């Protein structure tokens, strides 16, 4: 698990890979699975109501993470390490523990995922042809630190309602992918 | 070094019908491989429901920290296209989502391995030739076909040689 450097926003955001707005939506979850932020830019299909959709998304990420931790082909599973490292399927894992994942791709979308050491999960859903968005997610995390965490009126764990964060996020997301 | 770490084939209801390990550290036991396979089946279906646009057919590539998982779904067996249907009962509207479920093949390989779609196609061809055309094979049951095993290990070996040759 890599930890992220200083909280100051780097002067130049990562270079965009192509032009145009390819982002579909974005979710931010805290470590308890509460959806702190949901932004939608381009989503023609809704199969569920908002609350069910957030629950399903968090469940998908949770299960995929325990799946990747279990499948990890590079770490040995000895008996005393078994419960510690690879875990059993479905048992929650701490952020940074076990093998995690950073993206998956289907024929209609690509989901990029980042988990911070504090358990905050940032999920960005974009066009399937977008490249690696790990740097972009780190930049969005920096925006979160700058505009949400440093906001004196914001109570940690509450849904994010910061105008400045939303506008800078929209602006940045339009520039990527 | 093998080209791939392991290969799984799951039937349309999520049961593991074939699993082969090509030298990953800490081989999974039978129960765990069954659990992982059915978990993948459900994750594949949920990913279709969360799609922002219509026509999603599930995860094709999962990029984890230490491996890549490439998945290929056959077009036969199960439902071909995912669709949403609606029924009305006592003036309440119920929406149902029916994901597409076919036979799924997935391989676990090193991060950034390139030509895995081709290998999956080759494995699928072997599956149709030596498993589905086998008169003694019952659909959706575990695969125990000697010819499939032989040809599969040849294909993997050829792939490994191609990988090392580059």
CATH number of residue A60's parent domain: 3.30.450.70
Question: What span, in angstroms and rounded, lies between the C-alpha atoms of A173 and B8?
Answer: 37
- Whether A70 is in a domain gets the answer yes
Q: Would an 8 Å CB–CB cutoff place B5 in contact with chain A?
A: yes
Give a yes or no: residue A32 inside a domain.
yes
Structural domain tally of chain A? 1
Q: Residue A134: inside a domain, yes or no?
A: yes
pLDDT of the residue at A134? 93
CA A133 to CA B103: how far, in whole Å?
A: 31
Q: What is the pLDDT along chain A (177 residues), one digit of tens a residue?
A: 444 444 444 444 444 444 457 899 999 999 999 999 999 998 888 878 899 999 999 999 999 999 998 888 887 654 444 444 566 777 778 888 888 999 999 999 999 999 999 999 999 999 999 999 999 999 999 999 999 999 999 998 899 999 999 999 999 998 875
CA distance B15 to chain A (A): 16
| CA–CA distance, A176 with A13 (Å, rounded to integer) | 9
Range of the domain at A79: 23-175
Domain boundaries, chain B: 4-165
Residue B137: Cβ-neighbour burial (10 angstroms; 0-12, 13-18, 19+): middle
Give domain status of residue A8, yes or no.
no
Residues of B in contact with A48 (CB under 8 A): 49, 95
Of A68, A77, A106, the CB nearest to B51: A106
For B57-115, the pLDDT digits (tens) are 899 999 999 999 999 998 765 565 666 667 778 887 776 777 777 899 999 999 988 88
Classify domain B4-165 at the CATH topology level.
Beta-Lactamase (3.30.450)
As a whole number of angstroms, the distance between CA A72 and CA B80 comes to 31
A107, closest residue in chain B (CA to CA): B56
Q: Is A119 inside any structural domain?
A: yes
The answer to the question of residue A84 being in a domain is yes
């Amino acid at each position: 698990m890599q930890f992220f450097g200083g909280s100051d926003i780097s002067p130049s955001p990562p270079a965009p890979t192509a032009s145009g707005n390819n982002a579909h939506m974005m979710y931010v979850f805290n470590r308890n699975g509460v959806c702190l932020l949901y932004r939608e830019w381009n989503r023609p299909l809704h199969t569920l109501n908002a609350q069910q959709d957030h629950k399903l998304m968090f469940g998908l990420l949770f299960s995929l993470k325990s799946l990747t931790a279990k499948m990890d082909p590079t770490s040995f599973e000895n008996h005393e390490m078994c419960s510690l490292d690879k875990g059993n399927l479905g048992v929650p894992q701490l952020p940074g523990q076990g093998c995690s994942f950073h993206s998956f791709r289907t024929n209609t979308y690509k989901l990029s995922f980042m988990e911070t050491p504090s358990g905050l999960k940032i999920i960005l859903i974009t066009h399937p042809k977008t490249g690696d968005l790990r740097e972009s997610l780190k930049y969005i995390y920096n925006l979160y630190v700058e505009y949400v965490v440093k906001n004196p009126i914001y109570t940690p764990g509450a849904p994010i309602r910061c105008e400045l964060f939303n506008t800078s996020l929209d602006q940045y997301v339009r520039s990527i992918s | 070094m093998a080209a791939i770490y392991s290969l799984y084939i799951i039937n349309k209801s999520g049961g593991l019908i074939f699993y082969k390990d090509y030298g990953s550290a800490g081989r999974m036991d039978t129960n765990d491989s069954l659990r992982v396979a059915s978990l993948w089946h459900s994750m594949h279906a949920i990913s279709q429901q969360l799609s922002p646009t219509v026509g999603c057919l599930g995860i094709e590539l999962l990029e984890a920290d230490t491996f890549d998982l490439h998945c290929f779904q056959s077009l036969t067996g199960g439902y071909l296209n995912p669709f949403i249907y609606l029924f009305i009962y006592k003036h309440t509207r119920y929406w149902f989502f029916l994901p597409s479920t076919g036979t799924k093949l997935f391989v676990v390989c090193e991060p950034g391995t390139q030509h895995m779609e081709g290998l999956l196609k080759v494995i699928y061809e072997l599956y149709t030739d030596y498993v589905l055309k086998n008169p003694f094979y019952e659909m959706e049951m575990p695969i125990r076909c000697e010819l499939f095993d032989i040809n599969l290990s040849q294909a993997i070996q050829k792939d490994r040689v191609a990988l090392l040759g580059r």
